[in-house]
Amino acid sequence: MSNILYLAEHREGSFRKPALELASYAHALARQTGGQAIALVLGKVGADQLSRLGSYGTQHILHAAEGSFDPMDNGIWSTAVAEAAIKVSARLVVFSASLQGRAIAPAVAVRLEAGLVAGVNGLPSSMQPLTVERKVYSGKALATVVVHTEKAVMTLSPNTFGLKESSGDAVAEVWTVPTLPSLSFEVLETSRSEGKLLLSEADVVVSAGRGMKGHEHWKPVEDLATVLGAATACSRPVSDEGWRPHGEHVGQTGKIIAPNLYFALGISGAVQHIAGVSSSKVIVAVNKDPEAPIFGAADYGILGDVHTVVPALVEAAKRFKENS
Amino acid sequence: MKILVCMSNVPDTTTKVRFTDGNTRLDAAGIQWIINPWDELALTRALELKDAGAISAVEVINVGPALTEATLRKALAIGADKAWRIDAETADGYQVAQLLAQWLKDQAFDILLAGVESSDYNSSGVGIMLAALAGIPSVSNVSGLSIEGGQVILKREIEGGQQQLKAHGPFLAVVQKGIALEPRIPSMRGIMTARTKPLEVVPAHPVAARTAYQAFSLPQPKGSCRMVDPEQPDELFRLLHEEARVI
């Protein structure tokens, strides 16, 4: 009863960084419990991709290739994960704290009569009883949570554990979920912006705020993102003004992100904004106000007008890329 | 059709949190309590649908001690028809969801709305757990809800895109920003009529929590910010590469 089951999410058949980070995390948990790290894969994924999970310490894969797993349906997905957890006698079930993971982890916890700890940021400090740290108050504080139940369900905050390669082969087993419910909602229309780097998957995020003074000044922001291979984001006033789409809003009431590198361009740094980005490994702030609170959260700062500094950063980034 | 909005009572989002009793609980001194921002947006959308004639009644519920009634009164002032409070101090989201599910057995709502998370515990757990316990379908990441000719249409965010869904029968939606743009503010008339609207207190059944918060701490403050000369932009990339090693 000490196996670890994790949901290996994929996008159109390929695993992205959050899935591989979760595989690394599940492997580390399995080493603590003495059990196996077991992946559940829903939908069609090729053998070459499945074998990648083995390189991050996964020993066994349950591959439910057949079934209506797209679109994501809370009822279908949570049933599949709960059935898999029962099949492999998982003590712990872990998810990425992704759109999907956050949506179904609570339902899986109910099905398994397990305690739920959402958004953990590392390994448990104790396995018996399970004791683990997570962020609360939108990143303004940390809490140590103890789970009273034998089984537990956790979601892992992205970019907190990192990728840890490990040698090994995963054995893939084709598996059919015994009793899947039908779709709960009828899908009328799906639209995806193809090829766009997702905020949740980006290592570098270039974000800009009200200091840009209008949507027409966004070109250098986008240029900097393009040169660095980064995703673009914005602060709340920017999306409220309609300068940028709501999907780009990062902060307490928007998306909470944790990239390796976060550029805050012309963002003063309200408490709510910092709460959404404070888990970034490194923050660079550009602002003309030396008193702007963003400098208190930043690792590197440039005091100056974004309209001259950002274009200069674009050129400097190009020179850096050419020489590296 | 009737909508229920599940509400959480949270510290104002600009609060600088402090802890007390050996860092085991929040120091409530000086804290201003508000309706959880996403629940407030959910309530706003429910009232917009009521104004449009698509919904007959909007009710709100909170699980908490008597001091949370101030936010329930605010919800009534904004326009909710009735408020409920399940009288309990809870230790985790599971306990909250169980209390709601037990109460829900004797109720008839067509649409249940819950904010994506509460700004205090950020677990995103209660809504989905409630749906699972009550045995009703749930949908998450919902940023749009409309009702036309009795048909309920939802817009939800998926990784890298959006999807439109049609609901058949009662459901619970976990909603996020976009469901409404600006929270509705109570009018003077709303504040006056809120006093006469029903706020029903329900006793709690005993339910055990599955997790406990043992201790809280504040994150390590960041070291000082290293300033780079705006005339030397190349220096920034050298530092990010050689010192911070992030590019």
The reply to whether residue A193 touches residue B132, judged by beta carbons under 8 angstroms, is no
Gap between the Cα atoms of B145 and B156, Å rounded:
9
Q: From CA B157, how far away is CA A159, in angstroms rounded?
A: 21
Which of B139, B143, B210 shows the shortest C-beta gap to A74? B139
CATH number of the domain within which B31 lies:
3.40.50.620
**Token output for A123:** 């390994």
Distance CA B204, CA B91 (A): 14
CB contact under 8 Å between B137 and A117, yes or no, is no
Closest-approach residue (CA) in chain B for A105: B125
Most B-contacting residue of A79, A136, A256 (CB-CB within 10 A), to test interface:
A136
Question: A42-75 pLDDT, tens per residue?
Answer: 999 999 999 999 999 999 999 999 888 988 999 9
Domains A3-174 and A199-323 share a fold: yes
**Chain B environment of A78 (Cβ under 8 Å):** 132
Q: Please give the structure tokens belonging to residue B208.
A: 């055990």
The DSSP call for residue A291 is T
Q: Is position B17 within any domain?
A: yes
Report the 10 Å Cβ neighbour count for B87.
Answer: 14
Fill in the amino acid letter for A91: R
pLDDT band at A1 (very low <50, low <70, confident <90, very high): low
Q: Is A31 exposed, middle or buried (0-12, 13-18, 19+ CB in 10 A)?
A: middle
CA of A192 vs chain B CAs: smallest distance (Å) = 4
Q: Which of B19, B104, B108 is nearest to B56 (CA)?
A: B108
pLDDT, one tens digit per residue, over B170-223 is: 999 999 988 998 899 999 999 999 999 999 999 999 999 999 999 999 988 778
Phi and psi (nearest 5°) for A98?
-95, 180
Residue range of the domain that includes B35: 2-216
Backbone conformation region of residue A3, classed left if phi is above 0, alpha if psi is from -120 to 50, else beta: beta
The answer as to whether B44 is a domain residue is: yes
Q: Considering its fold, how many domains does chain B have in total?
A: 1
The whole-number average pLDDT for the span B155-160 is 90
Measured in angstroms, the CA of B143 and the nearest CA of chain A are apart by 10
What was the pLDDT predicted at A198?
82
Per residue, the 3-state secondary structure of chain B, as one string, reads: CEEEEECCEEECCCCCCCEECCCCEECCCCCCEEECHHHHHHHHHHHHHHHCCCCCEEEEEEEECHHHHHHHHHHHHHCCCEEEEEECCCCCHHHHHHHHHHHHCCCCCCEEEEECCCCCCCCCCHHHHHHHHHCCCEEEEEEEEEEECCEEEEEEEECCEEEEEEECCCEEEEECCCCCCCCCCCCHHHHHHHCCCCEEEEECCCCCCCEEEEEEECCCCCCCCEECCCCCHHHHHHHHHHCCCCC
Mean pLDDT score of chain A: 94
Half-sphere exposure (Cβ direction) of A127: Cα atoms closer than 13 Å: 14
Measured CA to CA, the distance from residue B140 to residue B242 in angstroms comes to 42
Q: Which two tokens stand for residue A305?
A: 């007008």
**At residue A214, what are phi and psi to the nearest 5 degrees?**
150, 150
The confidence score (pLDDT) of residue A125 equals 97
Element (H, E) at A76: helix A74-87
A229: left (phi over 0), alpha (psi -120 to 50) or beta: left
Contacts of B222 in chain A (CB under 8 A): 296-299
Looking at per-residue pLDDT, the higher value among B117 and B181 belongs to: B117
pLDDT in tens, B16-42: 899 999 999 999 999 999 999 999 999
CA distance B210 to A154: 13
CA-CA distance, B39 to B8, in Å (whole number)? Answer: 7
Q: What is the mean pLDDT of residues A248-263?
A: 91
A125-164 pLDDT tens trace: 999 999 999 999 988 899 999 999 999 999 999 889 999 9
B227 and A303 within 8 Å at the Cβ level: the answer is yes
Q: Which residue on chain B is closest to A280 by alpha carbon?
A: B246
pLDDT at A321: 94
Percentage of residues of chain B with pLDDT beyond 90: 91
* Structural tokens at position A270: 């309200």
In the predicted model, what is the mean pLDDT of residues A215-239? Answer: 96
Residues A185, B167: C-beta atoms closer than 8 Å: yes
d(CA B36, CA B118): 6
Greater confidence (A138 vs A89) lies with A89
pLDDT of residue B70: 95
A90 contact partners, CB below 8 Å, separation of at least 6 = A3, A4, A5, A38, A84, A151
- Closest-CA residue of B relative to A242 is B181
Is the pLDDT at A177 greater than 80, yes or no? yes
Chain A: closest CA distance from residue B172 (Å) = 11
Domain regions of chain A by residue span: 3-174, 199-323
Amino acid B83: pLDDT: 98
Asked if the structure places residue B211 within a domain, the reply is yes
Beta bridge partners of A190: B163
Note the pLDDT of residue A324: 80
Contacts A308 to B, Cβ<8 Å: 230
What is the pLDDT at residue A195?
65
Beta bridge partners of B201: B85
Q: How many CB pairs under 8 A join A and B?
A: 268
SS3 A62: strand
Identify the architecture of domain A199-323 in CATH.
3-Layer(aba) Sandwich (3.40)
**Sign for the pseudo-dihedral over CA of A116, A122, A128, A129:** negative
Q: Mean of the pLDDT values across residues A233-245? A: 94
Q: pLDDT tens, A256-271?
A: 899 999 999 999 999 8
The ipTM estimated for the assembled molecules is 0.95
Evaluate whether residue B12 is within a structural domain.
yes
Q: What mean pLDDT do residues B71-81 have?
A: 97
Is B137's CB within 8 Å of A187's CB? no
Q: Is residue B119 part of a domain?
A: yes
* A282/B246 touch (CB, cutoff 8 Å), yes or no: yes
Q: What is the pLDDT of residue B160?
A: 81
Cα distance between residue B42 and residue B7, in whole Å: 9
DSSP string, A230-280: -EEEE-HHHHHTTSS-GGGBBSTTSB----SEEEEES----HHHHHHHTTS
- Best probe of the A interface among B123, B154, B213, B232, by most A CBs < 10 A, is B123
Evaluate whether residue B234 is within a structural domain: no
For residue A247, what pLDDT band results from cuts at 50, 70 and 90? confident
Is residue B172 included in any domain, yes or no? Answer: yes
Overall fold of domain A3-174: Rossmann fold (3.40.50)
